[in-house]
Chain A
Amino acid sequence: MILNVSGLAPSELEYRLRQTGIVLQTGSFITHLQTSIPGVAECISLLYADYPLLEQTDFADFHVSLAQPGNLRRWFRPQVLFLFDGSPPFKPLPLDQAFPMLEWGLNWCVSSQANRYLIIHAAVIEKGRYAAILPAPPGSGKSTLCAALVNRGWRLLSDELALIRVSDGKLIPLPRPVSLKNQSIDIIQNYEPGAVFSRKVNDTMKGTVAHMKAPADSITRATETAQAGWVIFPKYQAGASALLETLPRSRAFMRIADNAFNYSLLGVRGFEAMAGVIDASLCYDFTYSNLDDAIETFAALKPPISPM
């Protein structure tokens, strides 16, 4: 029987995190996580409650921990380090940012190690077997839109990383907490009062951040792949009415490649995977300001005509 994180009492979770660490399954990745930083266990029991907790596992994809650097600063300005198998890939952050750092670190693990996938900086959501890929630079409202959509019936594959399996072009889910920043946090909290949020953390490098729990259904279906259906470049523009404009495939290709982490690293494999996704998808530019209008536009999306 598979136990979920919610099956552990908070004190037990904290104890295990401190002692042996826990083994979490997020999508197809298995992470061994160890930490004794106060507060992290709380965030995990809140946002990862529905994730499978592997009691016995021989193999983990990533061995990570959060720890406090052992220098003098710990007494007056404590910090936190993200450790990947014992070594820090990044500089430490203020201790208060431990949980956001864990989230960023876990994204880094995937984006730097999982080169069997073409990885694009994009949100991915699915409905009716087809996935919509929302590639976008920070500030375009991608995460806000994604958070709204997954609260209105779309399945969350990822709010940050589109993973396209090089061998068959399928999109691999990685449903993890959705990262929201600054005004987006209040907007989504008002939009969906039932959504579960971690507490706000101020003054991070991205401003104020909070994480929203992924919908339970997305977590249950975390190993169910999807077929690319739409590539949509969202852009939040104050006061604009929702506008979906067709984008030539060639333009879409270049723009999505700009948002890829390992496109050039994968060489011809990357090109072929990307071309496969673009060929199978309808491509659009999407400008919006009102979330309800955006939801309506997405609900009206026509599935691509299958090439078969």
Chain B
Amino acid sequence: MISPPLILRVLRQPDALASLSLADWDLVVRQARYSNLLAHLHALLEERGLIEQVPPQPREHLESSHFIAERHIQSVQWEVILIRKALAKIGVPVILLKGAAYVMAKLPSARGRLFSDIDIMVPKDSLNEVEAALMLHGWAATHHDAYDQRYYRNWMHELPPMQHINRSTVIDVHHAILPETAYIHPDPEKLRAAARTLDGFDDLKVFAPIDMVLHSAAHLFHEAELDNGLRDLVDIASLLRHFSNLPSFWTELVDRAKELELTRPLFYALRYCALILHTPIPADTMRAAEVGRPSLPMLTLMNGLYTRALMPIHPSCSDRLTGVARRMLFVRANWLRMPPLMLARHLFHKAFLSPKDE
């Protein structure tokens, strides 16, 4: 790509938002909408007191999406209260993950973020109890196919997603952050031991700051859920910025990644935050993170893939290789998810035996 998409320029230098021409705004609004970052731009503008300077037409769109984001945060807070209520009697430690954690811990990453579901983590041996309690309170399983059930329950790190029958909200109940069948196994016990109690809630926890960063890195660079690639990268960058004031954050980051077998995803996360979003990262940490660096041919390939796949899914940010890059990363994520024979069996089942939903 010759010059970076406009959306990257404003994410790197939010002050530039004040001086965009109307034609620039046309493009930025479209790129941001496709990356689910429109409300994030609104938050950036508001923090800087620049919102009044945005011309009225783009402002309509920014505020429209700001209203949605505000509503999402409210719904997450409400949903968390209901989940607590449903799980109150079992007395298992519940850890909120990702978006729900950002909202409840009042992290800046929550501002302007849109949500689709709520993720929690509980100990593996209490999965049955948690599932039963949620079902009693109106959440029902979504994947009824016997194969899918087995796929989730035997191999994955989560139950099949459960949806509430009245509110249609979805909860993902995890017992680990990566599939059981994956090559690497970040120990859930270690994550749980370091988790912090949420202010004002003695029964809810969130991951420790470093673990939050490592989890979002694992999610994006191991699981390769790229539908919201750029948004997820922005999440990581904003966690890094926010936590960078903590005394030992940068010095302990890499050691903790080693402990959790997450040095590779961390390497990618730091590399692409720096490369794509110009996130300031101390040179020492960057050097230490090199333990997760892949071989040169591999890195060259991944560079080609990620610099495309992390762009907004918008025609103005794609070249002729973008589609290929996304598909290759999808294949890679599945490759990392389970051993080859198991993967072959899984793909065969999905292709020929699973019922098709037109």
Contact = CB atoms under 8 A, between A and B. Distances in A.
A71 interface: no
Contact of A59 (B25, B64, B70, B74): B25
A59 B29 CA distance: 10
Nearest to B34: A85
A265 interface: yes
B294 interface: no
B318 to A, nearest CB: 10
Contact of B60 (A60, A61, A87, A266): A61
Contacts of A63: 30
Contact of B57 (A59, A267, A269): A59
B315 A86 contact: yes
Contacts of B65: 115
B68 A265 contact: yes
A114 B22 CA distance: 19
B71 A266 contact: yes
A32 to B, nearest CB: 9
B280 interface: no
Nearest to A267: B71
A265 B73 CA distance: 11
Q: Interface residues of A toward B: which range?
A: 10 to 19
B22 A113 contact: no
A221 interface: no
A116 interface: yes
A63 B30 CA distance: 9
A115 B67 contact: yes
A280 interface: no
A113 B33 CA distance: 10
A30 interface: yes
A114 to B, nearest CB: 6
B26 interface: yes
A78 to B, nearest CB: 20
Nearest to B70: A267
Interface in B62-101: 63-65, 67-68, 70-71, 74
Given A30-B57, A86-B314, A86-B315, A115 B26 contact: no
What are the nearest 8 A-B pairs in CB distance?
A58-B22, A115-B64, A58-B23, A59-B26, A115-B67, A59-B22, A59-B57, A86-B315
Interface of A: 30, 58-61, 63, 85-87, 113-116, 264-267, 269
Interface of B: 21-23, 25-26, 30, 33-34, 55, 57-58, 60-61, 63-65, 67-68, 70-71, 74, 314-315
